Amino acid sequence: MSRVFTIGLIASWYSSNIGVLLLNKYLLSNYGFKYPIFLTLCHMLACSMLSYVGIAGLKIVPLQAPRSRSQFLKISALGIIFCSSVVTGNVSLKYLPVSFNQAVGATTPFFTAVFAHLMTKKREGWLTYVTLIPVVSGVIIASGGEPSFHLFGFIMCLGATAARALKSVLQGILLSSEGERLHSMNLLMYMAPVAVAILLPAALIMEKDVIGITVSLGRDDPKFLFYLIFNSSLAYFVNLTNFLVTKHTSALTLQVLGNAKGAVAVVISILIFRNPVSVMGMFGYSITVFGVILYNEAKKRTK
C-alpha cells in the first residue's frame, strides 16, 4: 500500500505540474487570454487561500508564524522574486512553445551555481562545473534549431529560470538560521499574499480592463472560467504534491523525476499544440537534460 501511495503521489505531481504548464499555454495562446500578470495573480490568490486552508484547517503541517520584522522582510523579498519568476515564465509562454520553454528551464542548475558562487562564495568541485557545459550548450543548440524562436520570449524565459534559481539560493541564505527556518508550505502561505499585493495593481494598470474581459469571456464560454479556476487551483496543488513527494521519497528522487517530467511535458505539448520541432532542437534539449543528470550526479558525489 505504501508503494501504491507513493506512485499515486508521483503521478499527481506529474499531472498537476504538466497540467498547469499546458493550461497556461492554452489560456494565453489558444484561448487568446493574453494577460500573464492577471493569470499569475489568480495563481497566487489560489495559493494564498488554499495554503491557509491546508495548514490552518487540514493541519497538513504545523502553522508557523513569522518571529520578527526582519524575518517578514526576508519572506517579502522572496515573495517578490517568486512572483517575478512566475510572471516572466507565463509571459514567455505567450511567445514560445512549451517544448522550448522546458529546454530553457532545464538550465536552472547553471544559474543556481552562478548565484551561489556570487552571493555565498561557495565553490563546487571542478567536475560539477564541467557538467554545466552541456547544460548551456544544449540550449544554445536548441535555440538555433527552434522554428518558433522569439527573442523577447526567450529573454523572459531566461529571466524566469534565473529568478527561480535566485529564489532557491536566497531562501537558503535568508532563512537558514534555526530561529528563522520555515517549512516550505508555511513559506508559500506567506509569500503568496506578498505576490498578490504586487500583482493586483500591476494587472489593473498594465492590463487594461482585464477583469471586464475575463467576465465577458466567462459569459461567452463558461468553460473559460472553469479552466481559469482549475488552473489556479492546480498551481497550489503543484506545491503541495512537490512537498509530499519529497517527504515520502527524497530530494534527489524529486530531482530525477523533475528531469523526466520536462521530457514528458515536451512530448505531450508537441502532441497537443502541434508546434513544429526540428531535429537540432530536440538534439539540443537532449544534451541539456543529459547535462542536468550529470550535474545532479556530480553534486551527489561531492556531498
Q: DSSP readout, 73-112?
A: HHHHHHHHHHHHHHHHHHHHHHHS-HHHHHHHHTTHHHHH
Q: List phi, psi (to 5°) of 146.
A: -85, 115
Asked if residue 232 lies in contact with residue 224, where contact means CB atoms within 8 angstroms, the answer is no
Measured between alpha carbons, how far is residue 136 from residues 103, 133, 158 in Å? 10, 6, 12
Cell of 285: 534539449
**Percent of the chain topping pLDDT 90:** 42
pLDDT of residue 252: 56
pLDDT surpassing 90 at residue 281: no
Q: For the chain, how big is the Rg over CA atoms in Å? A: 19
pLDDT surpassing 60 at residue 241: yes
- What is the rounded distance in angstroms from the CA atom of residue 49 to the CA atom of residue 196? 11
Q: List phi, psi (to 5°) of 159.
A: -65, -40
Amino acid at 244: L
Q: Which of 50-64, 147-161, 178-192, 257-271 has the lowest mean pLDDT?
A: 257-271
pLDDT of residue 253: 64
For residue 259, what pLDDT band results from cuts at 50, 70 and 90?
low
